[in-house]
Structure 1
Amino acid sequence: MSAWRQAGLNYINYSNIAANILRRSLKPQLKTEAMRRDESHVRITPWANGKPAHEKD
């Protein structure tokens, strides 16, 4: 059994922890670029009757 599985983690959690540790250990000039790659943007579109339903603001 792998170490991350014995620690009670799934692979996604394990890889996220490892990536964060790696980003924090980089030199300052490389760290800022790596931290930008860490950001993610998610857009959620609700669907109704098989078509995207646009919510009115």
Structure 2
Amino acid sequence: MTGIVRFGLVALAVLMACPKANAQSSYQTGQNASPAYEGWEENEDGSFNMVFGYMNRNWLEEL
């Protein structure tokens, strides 16, 4: 019985000591903006235009 209680207390202490894991950290500034291929458009003469956008990983900073 004492071993089970001791194991429970150790397990509780380990869980309390672990930091909270954030799966999706958000940053307000300082991150990069990466290009993204969004598709293509065909022109009447048979040529095409490639369309690109960007993914800004900052919440507040505008580039």
The bucket for the TM-score relative to the shorter chain is: 0.3 to 0.5
Relative contact order, CA 8 A, sep 6+: which one is greater?
Answer: 2
Query: Which has the higher Rg, Structure 1 or Structure 2?
Result: 2
More strand as a share of residues:
2
Calculate the TM-score normalised by the size of structure 2.
0.32
